């Protein structure tokens, strides 16, 4: 949650903690909104039960957010409860705003003078001459943001070093385990289920593959998986290095387990706020269902990546991609839904003009 800039709003506290869901009365619903079936009526609940449900939902939401925020000091739940209770007991929005602001100052370990801060705040609220010019405010905020970025980077580097050390220790021990094989890059794998056909084809790094998969951390925490009975399609040039190298080792119909070192996964730059942290070694169980040759009209796919927490449903963790042929070679690029639709339209027009199936060699 950024400390600056802050908007002068009665709902600033809520906006910093959970996303707004209200729609302005000035924004009418789209005239072309498709009709939807009426939601089933919810059984009436007592005020106490409604309050409990809301409290459980907000506590879970806020906990999930805070759990994945890098911090030099762990959260003490007893202290959290006291602070929360003190603010709620006042039922005073101004007090709550001050507590929210103080919480951010404590979180970011900022050294400020209470009287000076309040005097400057009061001058703005009372319409008096500000105690800092716009240029001074901008300069101080830029310096603050630079310090906070450096602090976050130091915490991330420390966490990455710890995770890398744990990953290397595990891989060093695991490489001698029964059935585990190690490639030159350090990727480790084991055949869990051989292909039923001894002559089954293996994909190349230029192919797209259809597979079931499940990804976890070394401690078993799940961060992503394909939906049950719905294999996913990936272009092997658009995934992590461990997949680009490992999947071509698999014959169609087989199931492998891969232990992917951090440098072959997301390294020091995983998805912010996700389960995967800098330096994490990842584990994937993959079943190769089939090989799908890439075409210009290949629909976009989501790459394996981190979810906010193990209990959530899968969400998009990387931008959509499309695989297309250019100069006889597959090219992976990020696309928007509009670009995808336009690419498919052009491909169909080309097929119609040619009087046969096929896709154009290049989609611009």
* Enzyme catalytic residues: 213, 223-224, 240, 266, 284
- The SS3 call for residue 290 is strand
């Amino acid at each position: 949650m950024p400390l600056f800039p802050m908007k002068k709003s009665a709902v600033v506290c809520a906006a910093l903690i959970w996303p707004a869901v209200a729609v302005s009365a000035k924004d009418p619903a789209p005239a072309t909104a498709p009709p939807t079936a009426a939601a089933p009526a919810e059984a009436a609940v007592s005020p106490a039960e409604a309050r409990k449900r809301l409290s459980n939902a907000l506590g879970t939401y806020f906990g999930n957010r805070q759990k994945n925020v890098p911090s030099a000091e762990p959260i003490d739940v007893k202290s959290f409860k006291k602070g929360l209770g003190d603010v709620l007991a006042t039922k005073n929005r101004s007090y709550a705003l001050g507590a929210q602001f103080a919480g951010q100052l404590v979180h970011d370990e900022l050294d400020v003078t209470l009287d000076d801060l309040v005097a400057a705040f009061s001058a703005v609220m009372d319409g008096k001459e500000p105690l800092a010019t716009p240029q001074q405010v901008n300069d101080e905020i830029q310096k603050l943001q630079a310090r906070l970025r450096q602090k976050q980077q130091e915490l991330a580097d420390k966490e990455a070093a710890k995770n890398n050390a744990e990953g290397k220790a595990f891989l060093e021990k695991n490489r001698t385990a029964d059935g585990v094989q190690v490639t030159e890059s350090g990727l480790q794998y084991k055949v869990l289920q051989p292909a039923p056909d001894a002559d089954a084809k293996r994909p190349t790094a230029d192919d797209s593959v259809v597979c079931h998969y499940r990804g976890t951390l070394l401690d078993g925490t799940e961060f992503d998986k394909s939906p049950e009975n719905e294999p996913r399609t990936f272009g092997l040039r658009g995934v992590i290095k461990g997949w680009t190298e490992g999947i071509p080792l698999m014959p169609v119909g087989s199931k492998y387990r891969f232990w992917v070192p951090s440098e072959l996964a997301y390294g020091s730059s995983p998805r912010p706020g996700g389960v995967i942290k800098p330096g994490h070694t990842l584990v994937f169980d993959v079943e190769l269902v089939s090989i799908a040759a890439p075409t210009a009209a290949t629909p976009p796919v989501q790459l394996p990546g981190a979810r906010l927490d193990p209990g959530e449903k899968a969400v998009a963790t990387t931008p959509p991609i499309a695989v297309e042929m250019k100069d006889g070679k597959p090219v992976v690029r990020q696309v928007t839904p509009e670009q995808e639709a336009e690419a498919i339209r052009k491909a169909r027009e080309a097929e119609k003009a040619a009087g046969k199936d096929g896709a154009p060699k290049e989609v611009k």
